[in-house]
Structure 1
Amino acid sequence: MTLPTLSRTLLAGASLWLAATGAHAADYVIDSKGAHASVNFAIQHLGYSWLTGRFNTFEGSFSYDAEKPAESQVNVTIDTQSVDSNHAERDKHLRSKDFLNADKHPKATFVSTKVSNVKDGGFELAGNLTLNGVTKPVTINVTKVGEGKDPWGGYRAGFSGETKLNLKDFNINYNLGPASESVKLWLNVEGVRQK
């Protein structure tokens, strides 16, 4: 086999391999600056009503390939000082040692470790959440909202997720009664694909 023939054969083989394996997962930056993402929470107040709020400042990234969702990865960092329940005095209390201890632990982080149970546009995202200086495994139930081109020449993908945290797991022991021992988290994430 001549050198040009060998080169063409290797190139053809490489092209077939790339077509078979598909492109690697694309990297996305979460569009928190454009307010196309949110981290929300809800907790019962004394068992009589629901208190809702959000974290206004956070950033993160994820990798995603629609053909291989099980290989997805996610990293998110939340500014705990940015907690916002639409009540200044309550927010001050939430930042205190009774709850988030935000002066000592100004950041909460989530780093994914595994994707499982992929089906019907959704999956379970397992990872390690660090909150109030404590790191625990959590699982987020994720639903894909959609993906595609945006009007500015970019490409976006969006997901929503929810999970529930037991506050005592993260050394938050302030007693608001048995109905308030856990908090629900809702996450809405829209990422801009990096070129």
Structure 2
Amino acid sequence: MTTADPADALRDSARAGTRAVTGAWWWFLILGILWTILGLYVLSYRPGTLGVVAALVGVAFLFGGVAQLVVASRVRDWRWLYIVAGVLGVIAGILTFVWPGITLYVVSIFVAWYLVFFGIFHVIAALAGPKVSWWWTGLLLGIAELVLGIWAVHSWQRSLFTLLTLVGVWAIFHGVNEIFAAFTLREVGKRAERVLS
């Protein structure tokens, strides 16, 4: 009677686990392509892009609200705060689908003021913080945020345009990141197969 070599069993188990994890690389690829297409569509500034952005905002509010409620079910301290945040998130998500125009208006105004606030914060942090070799990138980011925020605050049309642009650019960057992640995961799987062979 022969017994299996434990090293072979471990290698087979590791190979199966690697295949299971890296075998889903194409999901990342599909998601990356879809996000990139969505971003390009939003940046086309067609009338339908407002509906797409409103739907994304609504889903984000709903998802955030549900996530807060799930966290509330698992924590003891400050549970009421998570419950309130979760309920408000779900209500905001529902209201987004009921009144998408008003929601986009409010969100675009918040985004414009967010850019102003964080632009000031990043400029101060870059000038007052330690001068590492790339400190100037924080300064450039802060100046860009500040200029864009001040420009967007002046009218709700500019704020809405800024919101659409930021969502479109974010979707493209997220999509490209997912595509690179897909091919990186695929390559890691191939390397792991070679090592485990």
Structure showing greater Rg: 2
Question: TM-score, normalised on structure 1?
Answer: 0.24
More helix by share: 2
Give the TM-score of the pair, scaled to structure 2. Answer: 0.23
Q: Which has the higher strand share?
A: 1
Indicate the structure whose relative CO is greater, using CA pairs within 8 Å and at least 6 residues apart.
2
